[in-house]
Amino acid sequence: MSLAVEIGGLRLKNPLIAASGTFGYGVEYEGLMDLSLLGGLVSKGLYLEPRDGCPTPRIVETPAGLLNAIGLQGVGVRAFVADVLPRLARYDTAVLVNVCGDTVEEYAEVTRIVDDAPGVAGVEINISCPNVKKGGMAFGGDPRMTAEVVSAVRKATRRPVIPKLSPNVADITVFARVCEETGADAISCINTLLGLAIDVETRKPRLAFGTGGLSGPAIRPVAVRMAWQAARAVKIPVIGIGGITSGRDALEFLIAGCRAVQIGTSNFVDPGLYERILPELRDYLERHQLKHVGEVVGTLEYPGLPVSTEVVS
């Protein structure tokens, strides 16, 4: 039985990837789990320079979810390459770097620095963070800007390029296709949903930034639906993200057509979850008499009702 998957030339020993922004730089989890259990991990979003991020409060708990406006606080790509990458080298897992920028040029420059660094398996492009004033969702919400950023990053690296798409658009398939046409090797779906939580006593937003990004089990059905739509729209692999807490949750994305999944908010809740989910996946394959996890991918039996074509198109 094999859990190995391949995504745009990137071979992962299993389909579980720790999502950007929920796993620090990976090294924070040393001692709490065996990082070699992971198929891969994606770094916190990195710009050229260190960033302060948003004022506080930055997080608020919502029903089965987490609303955050962290604002991409980070150490900057050079510190990551110098201090963190060597520590991650001892683990048998694929290290992906989430690259950010205020400008197209900055995305390309961060990518070039990463491309030169040893131990980087691929580049995820952050065009979907809702908590920054420039870049982020501003690029991922406009197909022309998405094309510009993906093309620039594509030119800056030989490694697999994986744009991370925003759900805060009318039709995610438009963006999935743009990524495919401009040289992406895969896409990650989805980043957080734009949300707003209000303190009714003060009549102010509960987050200092105002709006925030919603994650956690609350968004899973939306994420599965969007990943499913994206997977039907493009030939490049789709990595599903959104509210995964168990093997069954991960399987929903795989059945919907995702080649791999990322686990996000659950990393905050339980550092032991990979040890729990991997046996759940193996158990599922065994019960369904499957030899390879890839045999599950895209096996959704969707009812052929007229309404489905309206949803998908």
Partner 1 sequence: MPANRHAPLVSREPLDAAYFVLTFRHPEIAATAHAGQFVMIKAGLSVEPPLRRPFSILGVDAKEETFSLFIKAVGAGTRALVRLTEGEVAQCLGPLGRPFTKPAAGTEALMVAGGYGIAPFHLFATELRAEGWIGRVFYGGRTVNDLQLRDRFQELVPLVPATEDGSHGHRGRVTAPLLAFLEGTRGPARLYACGPDPMLHAVARIAEDRGLDAEVSLDPWMGCGIGTCLGCVVRTQHEDEARAKYRCACTEGPVFDASLVVWPDETASRARRRAKVEA
Q: Which tokens hold the place of 278?
A: 């991997």
Closest by CA position to 167, among listed 217, 128, 212, 216: 128
75: three-class secondary structure by DSSP: coil
> Given the structure tokens 């690029």, which residue do they identify?
139
Identify the active-site residue in 54, 129, 189, 258: 129
User: What is the Cα–Cα distance from 270 to 111, expressed in whole angstroms?
Assistant: 31
Instruction: Tell me the closest approach of the beta carbon of residue 220 to partner 1, in angstroms.
Output: 10
Q: Does residue 57 interact with partner 1 by CB under 8 A?
A: yes
- Taking the alpha carbons at both ends of the chain, their separation in whole angstroms is 36
Residue 189 sits at the vertex; the CA angle it makes with 186 and 192, to the nearest 5 degrees, is 145
- The residue from 47, 223, 267, 274 that contacts partner 1 (CB under 8 A) is 267
Q: Is 119 in the site for partner 1 (CB under 8 A)?
A: no
By C-beta, is 135 or 217 nearer to partner 1? 217
Q: Residue with structure tokens 């007229």?
A: 306
Q: Do the Cβ atoms of 62 and 218 come closer than 8 Å?
A: yes
Per-residue mark of binding to partner 1, 226-255 (x: CB under 8 A): -------------------x----------
Give the footprint of partner 1 on residues 27-46 (CB under 8 A).
Answer: 28-29, 31-33, 44
Shortest distance in whole angstroms from residue 289 CB to partner 1: 28
Q: Is the peptide bond before 303 cis (omega within 30 degrees of 0)?
A: no
272 binds partner 1 (CB under 8 A): yes
**Contact criterion met (CB below 8 Å) for 67 and 197:** yes
Asked whether the beta carbons of 213 and 191 are under 8 A apart, the reply is yes
Among 23, 80, 107, 139, contact with partner 1 (rule: CB under 8 A): 23
Distance between CA atoms of residues 120 and 247, nearest Å = 27
Q: Which stretch binds partner 1 (CB under 8 A): 156-164, 168-176, 262-270, 300-308?
A: 262-270
Binding segment (CB under 8 A) for partner 1, from list 4-12, 61-69, 90-98, 186-194 = 61-69
Closer residue to partner 1 in complex, CB, 44/259: 44
Catalytic residues: 129
Residues that bind partner 1 (CB under 8 A): 22-24, 28-29, 31-33, 44, 52-53, 56-61, 63-66, 68, 70, 73, 216-217, 245, 265, 267-272
